[in-house]
Amino acid sequence: MAGRSETTTITPTKSNSSVRTFLVLFLLLTCHSLLFSQWITDPDFNTHAQKGIESVYNLEFEKADSEFTYLTQQYPSHPAGKFFLAMVDWWKILMDIDDESRDEVFVKKLDDVIELCDSLLAVNENDVSALFFKGGSLGFRGRLRANRNSWIKAANDGRLALPIVQHAYKIAPTNDDILLGIGIYNYYAAIIPERYPIVKPLMVFFPNGDKKKGIEQLWEASRKAQFAAIEAEYFLLQLHFSYERQYDTSYTLALSLLQRFPNNVIFHRYLGRSAYTVGRYEEAQKVFTEIWLRCEKEQRGYSANTKREALYYLGLCEMNNKHFDESLKYLYQCDELSRVLDKKEQSGFMTMTNLKIGMIYDAQMKREFAVKQYQKVLDLKKFESSHELAQKYLKTPYTP
């Protein structure tokens, strides 16, 4: 293959405008800063909460439901149990973000949490638990609405949640769990204006960020937080892979998370992507083969979108090994699946798969087929440097 600059890593997310990206990341602050913080010191509460949280990350939703239902029964006046039950639905939504069938139930559960928190705040405006879980519910509701392109409602949820976060932080500034949200805000408030200049005018309404401090706070939360440690580690994984491009770190984090939560498809995919990007091709092939097999068995979370990603990377691994016929088999399956999945717009997978097929045909000295592929790429939606590479290889054939 050509150098790594031509080996594009694809993370299968919906395409976002820069404003949408900013809004979603802002909402991450308002929800994840509150995600697993609570103020009951009863060991019984903590034990069941921790078991439930770990079950959620391992996609053992039935076990999580059982633990959180116990919390709602034993601690009916505390919003944590109701909120965590909603988070089970959130992770179900994450397994297939295009499926809107769970949205109504999820929002109803969040609204119930907000109603309970409001009743607590009417008695004591400084009730930290009520502040935390009301802000968290607003944040998650807004995040879902942003994913559903309901921008006005999403922005309003963010507007309502931010002062709640700020008030909670003033009350409990030394809580290690709160460091998750503060770290997220410091990081993204610093880098988003740099990456997306169009949002800079919006930043005058928000405190300044500090990328270095944000990363330090997230590492601190991952080490010391009682309930937010896993989420902090997950965010560190995402930002090191997608923004910092420190793939050795994302590899280490993904491996650690997957070893702890072996059923989590998101951690599994990040491990494969990171392994491939740092040049661990044999390991990447092994990881994506396992992912593909789990897709074939229809294991929870291992959806058609996951299968497509596995096919794409398996194709790249075979291409890297110069097993071109095997690579084409995977890539053509990936292309076929993309034509089923890409209902609203063409994905990066479809574009890059067709580019790679053209490159393989060039490597096989099948120039006529290669040219057709590059021309096809130019008719597909541009993904990163796909059009530039297609034009380059139309002029000069690709050589491995």
Q: Does residue 235 surpass a pLDDT of 50?
A: yes
Q: Which tokens sit at 326?
A: 């095997």
Q: Which tokens sit at 8?
A: 């594009």
Query: Which whole number is the average pLDDT over 138-158?
Result: 80
Architecture of domain 18-244: Alpha Horseshoe (1.25)
Query: Which whole number is the average pLDDT over 161-189?
Result: 78
Query: Which whole number is the average pLDDT over 71-84?
Result: 94
pLDDT at 283: 98
Q: What DSSP string describes 52-82?
A: HHHHHHTT-HHHHHHHHHHHHHH-TT-SHHH
Contacts of 260 (CB under 8 A, 6+ apart): 57, 230
pLDDT in tens, 92-102: 998 888 889 99
Any idea which of 10-24, 107-121, 306-320 has the lowest mean pLDDT?
10-24
Identify the band that residue 86 occupies on the pLDDT scale cut at 50, 70 and 90. very high
Q: Among candidates 327, 314, 321, 318, which has minimal Cα distance to 358?
A: 327
pLDDT in tens, 295-313: 999 999 999 999 999 999 9
Average pLDDT of the chain, as a whole number: 87
Q: Does residue 329 surpass a pLDDT of 50?
A: yes
- Crossing angle of the two packed helices 229-242 and 43-57, in degrees rounded to 10: 30
CB burial string 184-204: b at 16+ within 10 A, e below: bbbbbbbbbbeebeebeeeee
Q: How far apart are CA 394 and CA 391, in angstroms?
A: 5
Cα distances (Å, whole numbers) of residue 271 to 123, 234, 324, 352: 47, 12, 24, 20
Identify the band that residue 203 occupies on the pLDDT scale cut at 50, 70 and 90. low
pLDDT in tens, 339-349: 999 988 899 99
pLDDT at 37: 40
Only one residue has tokens 């919003």, namely 79
Contacts of 231 (CB under 8 A, 6+ apart): 32, 35, 36, 180
Q: Which tokens sit at 279?
A: 């040049």
Query: Which whole number is the average pLDDT over 35-64?
Result: 84
Identify the band that residue 168 occupies on the pLDDT scale cut at 50, 70 and 90. confident
Q: Does residue 5 surpass a pLDDT of 60?
A: no
**Quick one: what percent of the chain has pLDDT higher than 70?**
87
Q: How far apart are CA 327 and CA 379, in angstroms?
A: 23
Q: How far apart are CA 357 and CA 359, in angstroms?
A: 5
Q: In whole angstroms, what separates CA 129 from the centre of its chain? A: 26
Identify the band that residue 14 occupies on the pLDDT scale cut at 50, 70 and 90. very low
Query: Which whole number is the average pLDDT over 193-216?
Result: 77
H or E stretch covering 279: none
Q: Does residue 165 surpass a pLDDT of 80?
A: no
Identify the band that residue 36 occupies on the pLDDT scale cut at 50, 70 and 90. very low
Cα distances (Å, whole numbers) of residue 398 to 59, 159, 326, 377, 390: 43, 51, 19, 15, 10
Identify the band that residue 117 occupies on the pLDDT scale cut at 50, 70 and 90. very high
Q: Among candidates 363, 369, 371, 374, which has minimal Cα distance to 398?
A: 363
One-letter amino acid for residue 111 of the chain:
D
* Residue ranges covered by each domain of the chain: 18-244, 331-400
Q: In whole angstroms, what separates CA 132 from the centre of its chain? A: 22
pLDDT at 250: 98
Any idea which of 170-174, 361-365, 380-384 has the lowest mean pLDDT?
170-174
Query: Which whole number is the average pLDDT over 313-329?
Result: 97
Identify the band that residue 370 occupies on the pLDDT scale cut at 50, 70 and 90. very high
CB burial string 258-282: b at 16+ within 10 A, e below: beebebbbbbbbbbbbbbbbbebbe
Q: Does residue 23 surpass a pLDDT of 60?
A: no
